[in-house]
């Protein structure tokens, strides 16, 4: 059903590029990445896009799901060693977030995009532990908007944040600036440039498609409009 080589995870704990290439291969191997320049996707932000990275697909492949949990675990130990709680950004960050919390044996929370309209009207679900350094998990960073507004919500309700860890980023300057402005350290397992390089190496995309993807990457806000 899918076909990829497992790299012994320990060997790459110090190698960001190796992790990024490995995760790009995992995403491509299970069909999580969809290229559709002729019928662009519309994102929540209103941007048009020739590519859609649906990390939720990885959840349906137990070996890939487990490998991503392993990598999040290694990276969290190396880059965010003081983590003592994990929060997932709803909905995409919840599954790998709770699997990581289980591995780290720490409390888990999740953060809705807006407060629930009924019941207790929570935006942050779970029990915020005072002074717990919380690592926020997101599946995918595009503009960074929803991830950063989740971080704001957690802080507003008394949470402390040690950083953010995401499976994939498109690597837009806008997002990098937004994280820098917010003073939040972001680590991402893989990214757009690595994905395109690996897809090209595997013959999964051709020269003219790469050109189109690079045009989009330069000005996503105006592409396709």
Interface residues with its own copies (CB under 8 A) are 30-31, 34, 41-44, 52, 54, 56-57, 59-62, 65-66, 69, 85, 88, 90-91, 94-95, 98-99, 101-102, 105-110, 112, 117-120, 122, 125-129
Quickly list H helices, 38-132: 62-79, 94-104
* β-pair partners for 220: none
Find the shortest distance in angstroms from Cβ 87 to its own copies.
Answer: 10
The smaller minimum CB distance to its own copies, of residues 30 and 135, is found at 30
Find the shortest distance in angstroms from Cβ 73 to its own copies.
Answer: 13
The smaller minimum CB distance to its own copies, of residues 92 and 163, is found at 92
The smaller minimum CB distance to its own copies, of residues 94 and 199, is found at 94
Find the shortest distance in angstroms from Cβ 22 to its own copies.
Answer: 20
Find the shortest distance in angstroms from Cβ 14 to its own copies.
Answer: 27
Alpha-carbon distances, residue 180 vs 12, 38, 185, 220 (angstroms): 26, 34, 8, 20
Question: Which H/E stretch holds residue 197?
Answer: helix 192-201
Quickly list H helices, the chain: 16-29, 62-79, 94-104, 145-156, 173-182, 192-201, 207-218
Backbone angles phi, psi at 106, to 5 degrees: -125, 165
The smaller minimum CB distance to its own copies, of residues 41 and 79, is found at 41
């Amino acid at each position: 059903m899918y076909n990829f080589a497992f790299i012994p995870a320990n060997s790459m704990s110090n190698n960001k590029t190796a992790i990024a290439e490995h995760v790009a291969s995992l995403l491509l191997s299970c069909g999580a990445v969809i290229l559709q320049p002729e019928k662009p996707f519309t994102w929540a932000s209103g941007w048009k896009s020739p590519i859609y990275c649906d990390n939720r697909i990885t959840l349906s492949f137990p070996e890939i799901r487990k490998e991503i949990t392993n990598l999040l675990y290694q990276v969290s130990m190396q880059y965010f060693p003081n983590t003592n709680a994990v929060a997932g950004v709803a909905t995409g960050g919840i599954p790998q977030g709770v699997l990581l919390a289980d591995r780290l044996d720490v409390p888990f929370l999740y953060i809705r995009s807006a407060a629930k309209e009924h019941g207790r009207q929570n935006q942050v679900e779970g029990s915020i532990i005072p002074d717990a350094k919380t690592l926020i998990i997101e599946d995918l960073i595009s503009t960074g908007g929803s991830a950063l507004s989740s971080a704001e919500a957690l802080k507003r309700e008394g949470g402390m944040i040690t950083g953010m860890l995401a499976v994939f980023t498109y690597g837009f300057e806008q997002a990098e600036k937004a994280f820098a402005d917010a003073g939040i350290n972001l680590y991402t397992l893989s990214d757009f440039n690595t994905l395109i390089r690996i897809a090209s190496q595997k013959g999964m995309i051709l020269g003219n498609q790469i050109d189109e993807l690079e045009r989009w990457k330069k000005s996503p806000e105006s592409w396709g409009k």
